[in-house]
Structure 1
């Protein structure tokens, strides 16, 4: 059902995927920095195939049991509690019992499938052992990040550690012969998860192999509880975000990062997909991304890219970050849509405008904090009146405080010097820019102008991109649309941090020329 441009449709946001499709790959990488290794662990030999009782070793989950939570006499009443956010004082909450099947490792080894185990991952794979034995260590670094973002999981009734079984398949036929792929998961394109298990195809790019593993593991961790009501775009977008990682020179991994180049994120290609999309059509609106359903993610890299981008927009935006990150701890039960609405606030158009600027300018290393725009409506100027505003070189779009009217004429002048980059020496510039270096077709440092149209004057605003006009240090022009003026000094969106200084921009409303009527 289509959604009105300016109204929320809660039903369009409430989907639940029991089996989530995986991701695609679309680039070629160099080898990433190596992480510490996890020693392969062996299990006692099993002489026969596991029985049904062996495959279900844990007690069945008991639903809905309520008990009083025991108090800790060692804690004062005012001290914070260490219980999971999924628990409260009235109800003891358990995660589902471990229902993963046990496997005959000796038999699987004969089929070319090895087992690699760490505290939170049991991995069965037929990929190169030198590559495979490093993967559990990647997951062990990710586990604390998942706990911090989604909150610690409740215990199960058996008191065992949360562990996921993963299957990474180079030769899928081996896993089919070993009966390791359930029938419902026969059509795995890149990856699927179910409960505390995931299945994925091996990837040619080392970075993307780890990324896809982290993506599926994030699903297992964040969706292990029942009654998950978060919408599909969020579930896929946040899994993509948590899986996007970078390895530093010491082997320490950072998760939920903005890719800063293509080489270190080989096979990901999310930014490239967005860039290609906005070259040929207006970016998808925020609501269009939120309406993505399960079928949109079947072998569709674009849906993953848009969901990742929207998650990154909220997660890295200073205005939305805190409330967005709270959503990860409220994925169960009703009310998720209302929390999204409360996070965005009453001005959906302003949020969508900020989103449109984000995706239109998205590039590796995009600096969300400095690029953040604060919408401040301007005031009308009287004829010959002017307003001067300082425009910083290390920020994105900034309000001029001036409201302009279509058809009226205004003059803009800018004075002052600032520096772009500091090494090997500062590049000094005026508002005319540096003509030996260009970004987006304009000299680096040139003063640019944007008009944010008044929403009431343009009912199609949810689909309209904000146009950019080059100004320089002096310009006079007739306004093409009624709205508020914004300015920025031209620079790449990953290079704002090394700029210093500002210019003083003065906007003056010019008198209208006297109209005359020719005598016939």
Structure 2
């Protein structure tokens, strides 16, 4: 599909989108759209002699024949091999028997000079305008890129469209088609082995890709998007670059989140005979509020290496604070965790935290206590600091979730919440750096009966 770049359309902010939600748990309906049909594309008669005379090389593998005028170099010459390796991964992802794809092959054109391909009859005039990449039927076209990674990503992206069209019967609506192509083209290629659907660990791993940067920049500009708006992308939306970032983010979120992964991956079975967007909304109707809240947490904290498994919000049954208080344990290697305690607006509570836990390991273990490490900061607060938020889980979101705006707790805090809700706690740590954390924080929660006289005995 077209991966061209043009000025960004106007988007509503996360807060604006949430302000328009009603009290239901289901998003507003969208106009159903059938799966996107994929034609076989133009019939291209390829004369290998004429092509070679034009300075275009032919590279082949089991699943890709690639014609290119880019000079020979390993990162170009191994593109067909990477493509074939990716097909095996796509088969595993979609549950397709590899025997069914043995004879399937795409024909690709990697172009440094489009005029050369036009003259050789390899770039039909009837193709729509595109700036970076395009796929139709068994053919894909990609312009040469400055970065080896993004060149390969682009070829794989267009290949995903071709694969889904051939073996799933369609590619679905724009958000799903482009999000899936982005997900299954985001890869790690080394020593003839490929991993797809990865979460890049740092910017250097995926030069030229920039999807995470798109989301970060849009958020800073007040143009964050909620799932329903991404799902409503029209057929022309991806003539701009930003929708690729948001489509990738939504699909990566749904595919990577432990609470949503299984349901999301069932959608590809429905491409042939149903509207994927409507089917997706129905699958998540019962926990649409939770999904939107966890989406906010994801995009607000999104960075390279984001750990969707460990940042999944851990909820539990909620009860009022017992008369004699409560003690809870918070895992330093997880994101937001419910204490199971409901705090009342206007009441004053005393929180006391203790414990020693690991927040990282390089050559030495980084030990931490609830007050945090003041020689290193994350989001303006000491690394490892105990933070909290009060969220009324009985109510729909009418603004940004309090879980996107953590408040410091540290070793102790007297807290008078302005709204009633469940107390959530976590340590202040990057969502990409939780895996090497170990240990727990013990937190005592008591009602402060003598809030006006804190030195008075209990």
TM-score by length of 1: 0.77
- Please, which of 104, 119, 133 is the counterpart of residue 47 of structure 2? 104
Question: What is residue 444 of structure 1 aligned with on the other side?
Answer: 383
Question: What is residue 295 of structure 1 aligned with on the other side?
Answer: 236
Superposition pairs of residues 360-509 of structure 1, within 5 angstroms: 360-376=300-316, 378-381=318-321, 385-454=324-393, 456=395, 460-461=398-399, 466-509=404-447
Cα pair distance change 1:15/1:484, threshold 3 Å: farther
Give me the whole-angstrom Cα distance separating, in 2, the residues matched to 1:462 and 1:425: 38
Q: Is 1:143 aligned to residue 87 of structure 2?
A: yes
SS in 2 for 1:11: coil
SS in 2 for 1:306: helix
Question: What is residue 30 of structure 2 aligned with on the other side?
Answer: 11
Question: What is residue 316 of structure 1 aligned with on the other side?
Answer: 256
Asked whether the 8 Å contact 1:270–1:305 carries over to 2, the reply is yes
Give me the whole-angstrom Cα distance separating, in 1, the residues matched to 2:173 and 2:306: 26
Q: Is 1:200 aligned to residue 200 of structure 2?
A: no
Superposition pairs of residues 38-117 of structure 1, within 5 angstroms: 100-117=43-60
Give me the whole-angstrom Cα distance separating, in 2, the residues matched to 1:139 and 1:224: 16
Offset of residue 498 of structure 1: 1.0
Offset of residue 227 of structure 1: 5.7
Asked whether the 8 Å contact 2:352–2:413 carries over to 1, the reply is yes
Question: What is residue 76 of structure 2 aligned with on the other side?
Answer: 132
Offset of residue 385 of structure 1: 4.3
Asked whether the 8 Å contact 2:57–2:67 carries over to 1, the reply is yes
SS in 2 for 1:166: strand
* 1:244-284 CA-partner distances (Å, limit 9, x unpaired): 00134x34221110010111200011111111222232731
TM-score by length of 2: 0.86
Give me the whole-angstrom Cα distance separating, in 1, the residues matched to 2:337 and 2:80: 46
Aligned pairs, number: 431
Q: Is 1:123 aligned to residue 61 of structure 2?
A: no
Asked whether the 8 Å contact 1:13–1:291 carries over to 2, the reply is no
* 1:343-395 CA-partner distances (Å, limit 9, x unpaired): 3241211111011111111111111111111333532236x642211001111
Give me the whole-angstrom Cα distance separating, in 2, the residues matched to 1:453 and 1:297: 37
Q: Is 1:331 aligned to residue 271 of structure 2?
A: yes
Give me the whole-angstrom Cα distance separating, in 2, the residues matched to 1:416 and 1:261: 31
Give me the whole-angstrom Cα distance separating, in 2, the residues matched to 1:467 and 1:160: 51
Cα pair distance change 1:503/1:320, threshold 3 Å: same
Superposition pairs of residues 244-259 of structure 1, within 5 angstroms: 244-248=186-190, 250-259=191-200
Offset of residue 119 of structure 1: 1.6
* 1:464-502 CA-partner distances (Å, limit 9, x unpaired): 873210110111122133221111111121211111110
Give me the whole-angstrom Cα distance separating, in 1, the residues matched to 2:410 and 2:168: 58
Asked whether the 8 Å contact 1:216–1:239 carries over to 2, the reply is yes
Rg larger in structure: 1
SS in 2 for 1:369: helix
- Please, which of 218, 222, 233 is the counterpart of residue 175 of structure 2? 233
Asked whether the 8 Å contact 2:256–2:308 carries over to 1, the reply is yes
Question: What is residue 4 of structure 2 aligned with on the other side?
Answer: none
SS in 1 for 2:425: strand
Asked whether the 8 Å contact 1:120–1:162 carries over to 2, the reply is yes
Unaligned runs of 5+ in 1: 20-95, 515-520
Question: What is residue 67 of structure 1 aligned with on the other side?
Answer: none
Asked whether the 8 Å contact 2:390–2:402 carries over to 1, the reply is no
- Please, which of 146, 167, 172 is the counterpart of residue 109 of structure 2? 167
Offset of residue 18 of structure 1: 4.8
Cα pair distance change 1:274/1:366, threshold 3 Å: same
SS in 1 for 2:334: coil
Give me the whole-angstrom Cα distance separating, in 1, the residues matched to 2:196 and 2:147: 18
Cα pair distance change 1:462/1:229, threshold 3 Å: farther
Give me the whole-angstrom Cα distance separating, in 2, the residues matched to 1:281 and 1:139: 38
Question: What is residue 264 of structure 1 aligned with on the other side?
Answer: 205
* 1:414-436 CA-partner distances (Å, limit 9, x unpaired): 11111222332222211001111
* 1:39-60 CA-partner distances (Å, limit 9, x unpaired): xxxxxxxxxxxxxxxxxxxxxx
Question: What is residue 353 of structure 1 aligned with on the other side?
Answer: 293
Question: What is residue 10 of structure 2 aligned with on the other side?
Answer: none
